[in-house]
Structure 1
Amino acid sequence: MKLVVYGLFALDIIQTALITRDAFFKFGTHFGNVTTFASLENLWLSVFVINAISGTIVQLFFAYRISVLSKLRILGTLVALLAVAGCAAGIASGVRAKISTLTNLATIAVSTKTESTVWLSISAGCDIVIGICMVTILSRNRATGLNPETDHATKKIIWLTIETGTLTTVVAILTMVFTIAFPDKAYCNILMDIIGKIYSNNFLVILNWRIKIVDGRSNVTQSATQQSSFHFSPPTMNQSAMSKTMAEVKIERQVWPENNYSREDNM
């Protein structure tokens, strides 16, 4: 999982560097040159190829999650195949844009219309399948009424899946619409520049949502005694000084179900 996060971060850095280089080249070094402004430069790599790879990585993550939660490999395999097919179409769009001698910002939608349409339509379809599968699986496994905390957390995951999946689907569909409806304009480039970062940010949202205060102040209905140990040490001390100043705090929670009274003793 860490390698996936670092990989997406590296792709975002590379994409930002390439887009920044092109912007400086057009608006800085060759300011006022209309021909240079309309040139393709590194757009074939920064927009088509990197966005396709970033989106595929996130979709493969959801394919794995669907396979684990549903215990049906066929569902995960279906999502993975759609993701890989979309990635191939996206890379093909970048290659077409690179090898076409007439391609510039005004005609890029025309020269890559077929490949871009296939790429964006498959990506949108894959996101829709992911959303349907995740919502269905989580809804069936939801323990309604048995554990309020688990039930509430599952509801939040369902809504989070719907929100993030809807965002990427809408952006992919709008980009495809702009590509088809305005082939001689550069409207589609606006959304193409950000679609990869939307996928990576949605992925980080899913991961960061897992942060939770464990053993917080929640209602406990069963009698139990729990102990936890915490070690505190100054970050700049050496090993000998740290062993002298290290403190240990034990927290014991006693729960009395008869009168719903909870007491915490610090020792």
Structure 2
Amino acid sequence: MISERDVPVHPPATAGYHVIGYFLNWGFFGALCVQVFLFYWAFPKDRLFLKLVVYGLFALDIIQTALITRDAFFKFGTHFGNVTTFASLENLWLSVFVINAISGTIVQLFFAYRISVLSKSRILGGLVALLAVAGCAAGMASGIRAKISPLTNLGTIAISTKTEFSVWLSISAACDILITTSMVTILSRNRGTGLNPETDHAIKKIIWLTVETGTLTTVVAILTMALTIAFPEKAYCNILMDIIGKIYSNNFLVILNRRIRILDGRSNITQSATQQDSFRFSPPTTKRSGTSETTEVKIERQVWPENNYSREDDM
């Protein structure tokens, strides 16, 4: 039976990794807010199911950020000076283990559905869904075990939950690899038809984006697991554990929002150093090309010389 003395933890040394994790979580949450706004603005006609997935993920991330903010205020605000709180569990079992597991699983289940539809194979989609659910169960189990554990510091808790935690991240990484491989294979089969070069180019961009986002979540999961197992008392893993869910959510929105094409953007306009600009979004329009559909968001740019600017120009 592991005891607190078996894993020496220096609480002040873990504080810095907590702070980095908190800052990154808030930064990714800010990026997610922008992504959700773009989705809301550009795709009002998307199916209700897709909207529920997007806004459901956003709600989970709001809850997680609120819990992490509460922990940060507890450790560095109300209990500032009490170094033992730096290595305490607090809401970590819920904000990191449970919510991250649920967020990742929602994204993976969505891709399981897409794979099932695109490949017309329920077996392949079912396998992805099975891995996603199994990973979620392991993640929630590790969070629950951490919560009910009589241990008090994160080092000993990390060792006591090592099995569940390793299973969760291993299955999650395997699921991401299967999703990436399946999507790239399915999309590659639809390229090179010669029917529409614009469609082929769009598919190529989707393939590269799928590889990039899938690789990112896989690497983060594997690296988090390795840091937790190798250095449980150092709290290195806290940096990545705080942002796993946000990475899944942001990657998901990046893939959805890639349907946006900005007209009259930076590449089409040259600007004098003595001019001022203002930008505003125009309502999105949908453009069809072959089998693909693109939403265009036009940015209207107003330019005027600084010397000639007056309040009358706003009228």
TM-score bracket for the superposition, by shorter chain length: 0.7 to 0.9
Residue in structure 1 matched with residue 68 of structure 2 by the alignment = 19
The alpha-carbon deviation at position 35 of structure 1 amounts to 1.5
Residue in structure 2 matched with residue 234 of structure 1 by the alignment = none
Q: How many residues align?
A: 218
Residues 149, 157 of structure 2: 8 Å contact kept: no
- Distance in structure 1 (CA, Å) of the matches to 2:184 and 2:103: 23
- Deviation per CA, 1:150-184: give whole Å up to 9, x if none: 10000000001000000000000000111111122
- Distance in structure 1 (CA, Å) of the matches to 2:236 and 2:287: 50
Percent of pairs with identical residues: 87
> Does residue 197 in structure 1 map to residue 216 in structure 2?
no
Residue in structure 2 matched with residue 57 of structure 1 by the alignment = 106
- Deviation per CA, 1:188-229: give whole Å up to 9, x if none: 11101000000000110111112246459x9x9xxxxxxxxx
* The one of 163, 166, 177 aligned to 1:117: 166
Corresponding residue SS for 2:243? helix
The alpha-carbon deviation at position 187 of structure 1 amounts to 1.2
- Deviation per CA, 1:92-150: give whole Å up to 9, x if none: 01011101111422323212100000000000000000000000000012244331101
* The one of 178, 181, 186 aligned to 1:137: 186
Residues 26, 37 of structure 1: 8 Å contact kept: yes
- Distance in structure 2 (CA, Å) of the matches to 1:171 and 1:87: 16
Runs of 4+ off more than 6 Å: none
Residues 139, 165 of structure 2: 8 Å contact kept: yes
State the TM-score, normalized to the length of structure 2. Answer: 0.67
- Distance in structure 2 (CA, Å) of the matches to 1:199 and 1:163: 12
> Does residue 146 in structure 1 map to residue 195 in structure 2?
yes
Residue in structure 2 matched with residue 28 of structure 1 by the alignment = 77
Corresponding residue SS for 1:106? helix
- Distance in structure 1 (CA, Å) of the matches to 2:251 and 2:287: 27
- Distance in structure 2 (CA, Å) of the matches to 1:150 and 1:11: 35
- Any stretches of 5+ residues in structure 1 without a counterpart? 221-267
- Any stretches of 5+ residues in structure 2 without a counterpart? 1-49, 262-284, 291-315
Corresponding residue SS for 2:154? coil
State the TM-score, normalized to the length of structure 1. Answer: 0.79
RMSD (CA atoms): 1.6
Which of structures 1 and 2 has the bigger CA Rg? Answer: 1
The alpha-carbon deviation at position 83 of structure 1 amounts to 0.1
- Distance in structure 2 (CA, Å) of the matches to 1:16 and 1:108: 22
- Distance in structure 1 (CA, Å) of the matches to 2:127 and 2:155: 36
Is the deviation greater in 173-182 or in 142-151? 142-151
